A and B are shown apart, each in its own frame.
Chain A
């Protein structure tokens, strides 16, 4: 079937461009193209497209691999810590404008599940951490009651992390509407009044690695594991946020202890 006169199909032309033909057929098609200028032009166009794509993205291969993608790092935590704050546009959206709590439904419907949870969490942070008198519904000294209540409302066992070793006192918690049902919101306070919050909710969003976003003096770490989304929000002090998030992660992520 290596006859020059044997008609060359379009599929074969693609295969020719992509080097998928056996050597003898490759030659036969090359010879055929010499007498079929229209097909030859088409082939030239496809090749130029491929070249343009390689020219545009080929250099990524030579970029140094960012720390967060180094395998040691990925293995070390399983859920590696993000290197750099990301997508300015996203952060601008998270923190921009005066979109109040009640606008959250409309605004967040547009985003991926995880992003949406993070937006809701940051809005809750902005709304409630400024409250002096009523930041929470249940005060932190009623931890047992709060655990029971919110576990029931969210439908899975709540573990309210103890961050006292990091100098953070549990202010309390509240129930909030989340993207896929109820959400729990816990607030902690440091010695100089700085506040950190944990927002958690069931989610249908796919599992993700830990992500970090910050802007405008506010930061969030968030992740999804086992259909549960967690967002830790606080002042944009990356090192401190990382320490706190790690402590929280270690306390909430104990799958063997999970109730069905």
Chain B
């Protein structure tokens, strides 16, 4: 792929990467940090990219970076300062927006990523399987579990958050 084509594809993907990262982390700054790191890595390892979908590749990098980030936060999430997802949102989303945001926060990371890649980013199951490095069947069971969990959260069961504030 021509260099110019590669850069153009990366550039075109930035708004969608921000959207995905925002929904993954539910924090503007953390999300943009992730996107920034993703772009740095993508440009640095351009030589490793042998054709295919640039967009999926970028989602893969971002998904992995976020997994690393959570792993290092997981040591003691209760004091984690950058993951304060209950902080008031200046954009003032309507109550429904807050609910879905909280519901997403209760998901296991891999389920959240799978669901967002499908419903928000419009990736096919096959693409999500590649991004997450798992068989399609695993993607489908992650989706199914995510949907059950969101429903039970919104129905008022509200189980204890997995990642406490």
Contact = CB atoms under 8 A, between A and B. Distances in A.
B72 A14 contact: no
Interface of A: 10-11, 14-15, 18, 20, 45-46, 49-50, 52-58, 60-63, 65-66, 68-69, 71, 74-75, 78-80, 84, 86-87, 89-90, 92-93, 107, 109-113, 115, 205-206, 208-209, 211
A56 B29 contact: no
B116 interface: yes
Most buried by A among B77, B84, B99: B84
B100 A205 contact: no
B76 A80 contact: no
Interface residues of B, number: 58
User: Closest 3 A-B residue pairs measured CB to CB?
Assistant: A110-B79, A110-B76, A86-B29
Nearest to B96: A52
Contacts of B32: 66, 68-69
Given A15-B125, A209-B40, 16 more contacts: A11-B144, A14-B140, A14-B143, A15-B140, A55-B97, A56-B96, A56-B97, A60-B22, A61-B19, A68-B32, A69-B36, A74-B39, A79-B40, A110-B76, A110-B77, A112-B82
Most buried by A among B18, B118, B119: B119
Contacts of B118: 18
B14 interface: yes
Contacts, number: 145
A103 B10 CA distance: 44
14 contacts: A11-B140, A18-B125, A49-B150, A49-B151, A53-B100, A66-B32, A69-B39, A74-B36, A79-B40, A86-B33, A87-B27, A87-B30, A110-B76, A112-B73
A111 B15 contact: no
Contacts of B27: 87
Contacts of B11: 71
Contact of B37 (A18, A54, A84, A209): A209
Interface string B120-162: 1000110000000000000010011001001100100000000
B75 A110 contact: yes
Contacts of A71: 7, 10-11, 14, 39, 43
B43 A89 contact: no
Nearest to B17: A69
Contacts of B14: 65, 69, 71
Contacts of B39: 69, 71, 74
B16 A61 contact: yes
Most buried by A among B15, B36, B104: B36
A54 B120 contact: yes
Contacts of A66: 32
Contacts of B100: 49, 52-53, 55-56
Contact of A14 (B16, B76, B147): B147
A116 to B, nearest CB: 9
Given A18-B119, A20-B124, A87-B27, A57 B19 contact: yes
B2 interface: no
Nearest to A116: B72
Given A20-B124, A69-B39, A60 B19 contact: yes
B80 to A, nearest CB: 6
A89 B87 contact: yes
A209 B19 contact: no
